[in-house]
Amino acid sequence: MSDLVVIGFEDEHRAFEMRAELVKLQKEYLIEMEDVVVVTKDDSGKVQLHQAVNLTAAGAVGGSFWGMLIGMIFLNPLLGAAVGAGAGALSGKLSDIGIDDNFIKELGETLTAGSSAVFVLVRKATPDKVLEELKGFKGKVLKTSLTADKEEALREALEQV
């Protein structure tokens, strides 16, 4: 079972820094993330979601490959690639893996202008090593599905210098 962790920051850039650190930790096999999304709220109050993976583009690439392959069988690879890209883009746009976008937008609306948050869906982690690397990020835990003691350990790590 995955755990959701949402950490808010007072500026628009700190959440991107934390996402980069989490990606680095994932490459070191210290954390396994199912999804990670950065949300920013600019000075005008507009909320933007910054997904780690663009599902529409990925679907278009995969769809065009399969469409071209099927098109080659029926001797029209360009038409097959075009139809496949369209179908793949549509399926990528409609599929929502990980954290629900509506939930992210709703919580993003509660942010103050000029701030950001990182939403992480953690499949598994090595908590002591991950917390050590997250020390000093000065974020505020907004929401989690962690147990009370794990949430408190996260809060303490974020406050440490």
Of 148, 127, 131, 149, the closest CA to residue 139 belongs to: 131
Q: Residue 80: its pLDDT value, please? A: 57
Output the tens digit of pLDDT for each of the chain's 161 residues: 789 999 999 998 999 999 999 999 999 999 999 999 999 998 888 999 988 754 444 444 555 555 555 665 665 666 555 555 555 554 544 444 578 888 889 988 999 999 999 999 999 999 899 999 988 888 899 998 889 999 999 888 888 76
- In terms of phi and psi (left: phi > 0; alpha: psi -120 to 50; beta: otherwise), the region of 101 is alpha
pTM score: 0.71
Q: pLDDT tens across 81-106, in order?
A: 555 555 555 454 444 457 888 888 99
Domains of the chain by start residue, with CATH: 3-52+99-159 (3.40.1520), 55-94 (no CATH)
> Looking at residue 137, what DSSP letter applies?
-
